[in-house]
């Protein structure tokens, strides 16, 4: 063996030993990431914002069984406002849809994921809200994430209540419009922002209809007055209002008499309307048509599963057929408040239904 070859054979194994292996570097990266994550988790714990999960072992309802607890428990924290999550007709409609249409579509809507039941539910939701057209999403978070970047460009402006839902905030971040934030339900501040944004091509005032944390009802009449005065559009998120606010449960715009003055409504199927999943946008047909072409959460998310569509459709049909379910919520709420007061409890805060 030549001397040079012999030396190379001796040196190469040494190089292999001295060179850090890919797997060792990988383990080090994982260990470092784990350390960073554990530190972040500990920060959440010490900050008192850790969110645990209760394990429910029964169907959703006013009475539930929770893992680790004895007997059933009164449930005051679900958004099952109308009790439709376990309504026999709603459940049966989901079963029938599962049998007829299958568990899921394995596709997005524009490829091969649109069934006749999707179109039927969209038509019923548009009718329910008295708007021209409707588009379904996997959630209202997706509906809010998909709207603003399609509707608004760099020449436009969005004016958002400072306490709007996180999904609205995230959706607005995705668009390139100028952003204005007005003080919570403050019409004077909103007018100031409208004046400051007058050079924009199109302006959209954005607010929750009902703010879920405090139960505040947006002053929609005043908002619509200002929007019309300054040539702006009005958008409301109705997740915590659809199905039970207003005489027919149409929402805060019906409650405050401005259904014909609010231009765009986003809401959910995951609360009062069956409680399963899904969200939607209702509004002018050209907007809905454009969302079908460009809204990324719609274009790149699987279609709503048929059982979910079946349940939601039946829930909407029940509300379209009768106002009794929606109207019962107000009576039950007042009876509950009165009984709690009689029992010695005080009600902190208040839900304002005023337009100021």
Residues identified as active-site: 212, 240, 271
Q: Which residues contact 204 (CB under 8 A, 6 or more apart)?
A: 148, 151, 152, 156, 157, 158, 159, 177, 232, 233, 234, 235, 264
Q: Does residue 347 contact residue 340 with C-beta atoms inside 8 Å?
A: yes
Q: 3-state DSSP helix/strand/coil percent for the chain, to nearest 5?
A: 50, 15, 40
Place of tokens 């149409």: 250
Phi-psi sector, 216: left (phi>0), alpha (psi -120 to 50), beta: beta
Q: Cα separation of 299 and 292, whole Å?
A: 7
How crowded is residue 331: how many other Cβ atoms within 10 Å of its Cβ?
9
Q: Does residue 351 contact residue 215 with C-beta atoms inside 8 Å?
A: yes
What angle separates helix 140-151 from helix 285-294, to the nearest 10 degrees?
100
φ/ψ of 205, rounded to 5, equals: -90, 125
Tokens matching residue 344: 């010695």
By CB atoms closer than 10 A (0-12, 13-18, 19+), residue 212 is: middle
The C-alpha torsion from 245 through 143 and 270 to 250, rounded to 10°, is 20
Q: Does residue 105 contact residue 112 with C-beta atoms inside 8 Å?
A: yes
Buried b (16+ CB within 10 A) or exposed e, 52-64: eeeeeeeebbeeb
What angle separates helix 306-321 from helix 324-342, to the nearest 10 degrees?
80
Tokens matching residue 239: 């997740």
- E-strand spans in the chain? 63-65, 72-74, 133-137, 157-161, 178-182, 203-208, 233-237, 264-268, 279-283
């Amino acid at each position: 063996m030549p001397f040079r070859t012999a030396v190379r054979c001796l040196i190469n194994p040494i190089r292999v030993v001295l060179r850090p292996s890919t797997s060792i570097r990988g383990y080090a990266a994982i260990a470092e990431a784990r350390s960073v994550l554990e530190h972040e988790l500990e920060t959440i714990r010490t900050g008192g914002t850790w969110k645990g999960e209760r394990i429910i072992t029964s169907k959703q309802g006013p009475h539930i069984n929770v893992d680790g607890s004895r007997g059933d428990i009164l449930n005051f924290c679900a958004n099952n406002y109308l009790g439709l999550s376990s309504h026999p007709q709603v459940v049966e409609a989901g079963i029938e849809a599962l049998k007829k249409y299958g568990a899921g579509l394995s596709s997005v809507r524009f490829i091969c994921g649109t069934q006749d039941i999707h179109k039927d539910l969209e038509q019923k939701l548009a009718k329910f809200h008295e708007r021209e057209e409707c588009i379904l999403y996997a959630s209202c978070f997706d509906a809010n994430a998909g709207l603003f970047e399609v509707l608004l460009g760099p020449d436009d402006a969005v004016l958002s209540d400072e306490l709007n839902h996180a999904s609205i905030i995230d959706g607005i971040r995705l668009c390139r419009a100028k952003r204005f934030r007005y003080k919570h339900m403050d019409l004077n501040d909103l007018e100031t922002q409208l004046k400051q944004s007058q050079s924009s091509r199109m302006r959209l005032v954005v607010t929750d209809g009902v703010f879920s944390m405090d139960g505040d009802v947006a002053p929609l009449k005043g908002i619509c007055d200002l929007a019309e005065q300054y040539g702006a559009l009005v958008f409301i998120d109705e997740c915590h209002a659809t199905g039970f606010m207003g005489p027919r449960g149409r929402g805060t715009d019906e409650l405050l008499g401005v259904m014909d003055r609010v231009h765009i409504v986003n809401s959910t199927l995951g609360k009062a309307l069956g409680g399963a999943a899904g969200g939607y946008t209702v509004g002018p047909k050209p907007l809905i048509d454009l969302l079908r072409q460009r809204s990324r959460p719609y274009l790149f998310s699987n279609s709503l599963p048929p059982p979910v569509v079946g349940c939601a459709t039946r829930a909407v049909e029940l509300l379209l057929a009768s106002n009794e379910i929606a109207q019962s919520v107000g009576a039950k709420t007042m009876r509950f408040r009165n009984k709690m007061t009689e029992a010695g409890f005080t009600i902190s805060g208040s839900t304002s239904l005023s337009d100021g």
